[in-house]
Amino acid sequence: MSRYFTEDHEWIDVDGDIGTVGITEYAQGQLGDIVFVETPDEGRALAKGDDAAVVESVKAASDVYSPVSGTVIEGNAALADKPELVNEDAEGEGWFFKLTLSDPAELEGLMDEAKYAEFVSKL
């Protein structure tokens, strides 16, 4: 499995042609206590950069963008009842949605973990 990151602080784990998407530890830290998450509906087609999900915290509401193009196969239903999972495990159990990648070549424009760490260190 490979993990990639965006400049908007989303991560995507890729296993074959399936991607699991969430927000980074940095992003959840900036948002603070998360109180609501809206994930995309199964079957929704997303283009790279589309608004895919919404996350609301006590500080702000923010869109979560799709790092690649694809079709949503699952939203993380656990977040409806327990949005704080994103604070507790942003890069694990707090994932937002899974999708089938329609153009794996789009991954080439994303950062690996080392490049993302360097990017965040300059913020």
- Is 120 part of a structural domain of the chain? no
User: pTM for this structure?
Assistant: 0.97
| Structure confidence at residue 76 (pLDDT) | 98
Query: What CATH number is attached to the domain comprising 94?
Result: 2.40.50.100
pLDDT tens track, the chain, 123 positions: 899 999 999 999 999 999 999 999 999 999 999 999 999 999 999 999 999 999 999 999 999 999 999 999 999 999 999 999 999 999 999 999 999 999 999 999 999 999 999 999 999
* b/e map 23-60, b = 16+ CB within 10 Å: bbbbbbeebeebeebbbbeeebebebeeebbebebeee
65: containing domain: 2-105
Give the count of domains, the chain: 1
Alpha helices (H) in the chain, listed in sequence order: 25-31, 78-81, 85-88, 113-121
| Per-residue confidence (pLDDT) for residue 91, from 0 to 100 | 97
Q: Tell me, what's the pLDDT at 1?
A: 82
What are the structure tokens assigned to 108, written together?
């080439």
